[in-house]
A and B are shown apart, each in its own frame.
Chain A
């Protein structure tokens, strides 16, 4: 018997790697939806709304002309103050998201390692998720000093649930036989976490990240409404001012830009996810 007896793989073949190709069709959908959206907007602002209430929803071209095309006018009007506020809120959202990720994932790791802790914390996480955080604002103001910290707390409260639940679900998703493979080698709890549970959890973690990222933006905007101080204010506070003064084009511009921030964060984490796990993780659509 020779010592080199590599066997040629002939019958079994490697499954071809199907990479999604750039396709124009993939872009038609969003464009069509965008056009329908704009049409609907025109319909609302120039037909459905009674004449005396049309200031509530100016037409798209009016928003572009008076909201986006004006750089700075008066104390608060124009694109420049809106962008400054947006940047202020973005900083809070991102910092808050960072805290949420670190804290939420650590909590999920602890919960995955102890069934007792999982059972003890789960109901309260669900409670935080469904509690009207806004109703707690007086309490938050009384307990915590500094608008910045108060805003961060709102972001964490609003964004934490998806990251904890998805990470936990992912950490517990490894196969029994994969666990047994580690048991057979006498692997420590830490090794198991790092080399088995954490990588197995990555697809779920990224789902949680994308949802939490969107919620962090919402949390930051909402926090702005209630916790503000002089100087540059967050986009939420800015929106509140426009709303009170019935400055339609500025209001819509600010809302669009706040949504865009959420969209950008969402797309960013989708991109990171594809970079990190796209090579081995397959999502299936069923056909």
Chain B
């Protein structure tokens, strides 16, 4: 990947971003890329390579030690590895939380959360507590919570990593539907190559620590994507190439 700054029209752009932690660990080295509206970019890489650090820098949870990251900080949706629901709140009250923190009125909150709950297919479960839900449903609630504020950029930190294969694939489909329907730009972190290719317009491969973008693949398949796409030869071929690049990343 070149060091040229990402295009200025991008909703999210990293420009020569480096990150060295206090203990001296170098997590990111000169990372540059941008994400435009309508793009869904996935970063794959060995564990501990600093993929998640990218999201933490983009969302300002951490400050980079070099380079810049530009993003509209008021319009970020962040989906964590776990659902991070508040166990004392019902589904609907959890979904309302972010709107509540932004001090939206009660009627507005209720309307927006009802829409978001419908979008993620949790209608009928509004009054359940998180402990009564399966892992996949908790993740849906977590997605709905982020959807409420209709963010322009969505950051996903391995959100489906803990789910079983079938649930994961179903949520992949639903997330893609939301991506098309809501039109946000997405930055997705995963270590599943299949998931990366299935979801994205572009896949970036990151090297082992310190993380660098070492390969970039455009995904040519059009949306909406059907789950059978995973078994097409072109799909397999692209996965193979990425797997190859990833193997290089481990060395």
Q: Which of B89, B137, B180 contacts A14 (CB 8 A)?
A: B137
A279 to B134 Cα, complex, angstroms: 17
Q: Which of A1, A7, A15, A195 contacts B131 (CB 8 A)?
A: A15
A-B residue pairs in contact (CB < 8 Å), sample of 10? A5-B119, A6-B119, A7-B121, A177-B80, A178-B86, A181-B80, A183-B61, A184-B61, A195-B101, A280-B131
Q: Which of B59, B78, B118, B137 contacts A12 (CB 8 A)?
A: B137
Binds A, one of B7-15, B122-130, B243-251: B122-130
Q: In the complex, are the beta carbons of B134 and A12 less than 8 A apart? A: yes
Task: Tell me if B38 is interfacial: C-beta within 8 Å of chain A.
Answer: no
A14 to B134 Cα, complex, angstroms: 6
Q: Which residue of B lies closest to A281 (CB)?
A: B87
Interface-centre pick from B61, B78, B88, B89 (highest chain A CB count, 10 A): B88
Q: Which of B80, B133, B170 contacts A15 (CB 8 A)?
A: B133
Q: In the complex, are the beta carbons of A11 and B87 less than 8 A apart? A: no
Q: How many inter-chain residue pairs (CB < 8 Å) link A and B?
A: 89
Q: In the complex, are the beta carbons of A180 and B167 less than 8 A apart? A: no
Q: How many residues of A contact B (CB 8 A)?
A: 36
Q: Which of A12, A17, A181 contacts B84 (CB 8 A)?
A: A181
Q: In the complex, are the beta carbons of B61 and A180 less than 8 A apart? A: yes
A55 to B134 Cα, complex, angstroms: 63
Q: In the complex, are the beta carbons of B118 and A6 less than 8 A apart? A: yes
Interface positions of A from 1 to 42, Cβ below 8 Å from B: 1, 3-9, 11-15, 17
Quote the shortest CB–CB distance from B82 to chain A (angstroms).
6
Interface positions of A from 253 to 287, Cβ below 8 Å from B: 277, 279-282
| Size category of the binding interface on chain B | 35 or more
Quote the shortest CB–CB distance from B132 to chain A (angstroms).
5
> Given known contacts A180-B80, A184-B76, is B134 in contact with A13 (CB within 8 Å)?
yes
Q: Please, which residues of chain B bring their CB within 8 A of the CB of A5? A: 119, 177, 181
A13 to B135 Cα, complex, angstroms: 10
Q: In the complex, are the beta carbons of B101 and A185 less than 8 A apart? A: yes
A1 to B78 Cα, complex, angstroms: 25
1/0 contact string of A181-192 vs chain B (CB within 8 Å): 111111100010
Q: Which residue of A lies closest to B85 (CB)?
A: A178
Q: In the complex, are the beta carbons of B181 and A3 less than 8 A apart? A: yes
Task: Tell me if B30 is interfacial: C-beta within 8 Å of chain A.
Answer: no
Task: Tell me if A240 is interfacial: C-beta within 8 Å of chain B.
Answer: no
Interface-centre pick from A5, A12, A202 (highest chain B CB count, 10 A): A12
Q: Please, which residues of chain B bring their CB within 8 A of the CB of A280? A: 87-89, 129-131
Q: Please, which residues of chain B bring their CB within 8 A of the CB of A6? A: 118-119, 121, 123
Q: Please, which residues of chain A bring their CB within 8 A of the CB of B133? A: 14-15
Q: In the complex, are the beta carbons of A196 and B167 less than 8 A apart? A: no
A182 to B145 Cα, complex, angstroms: 13
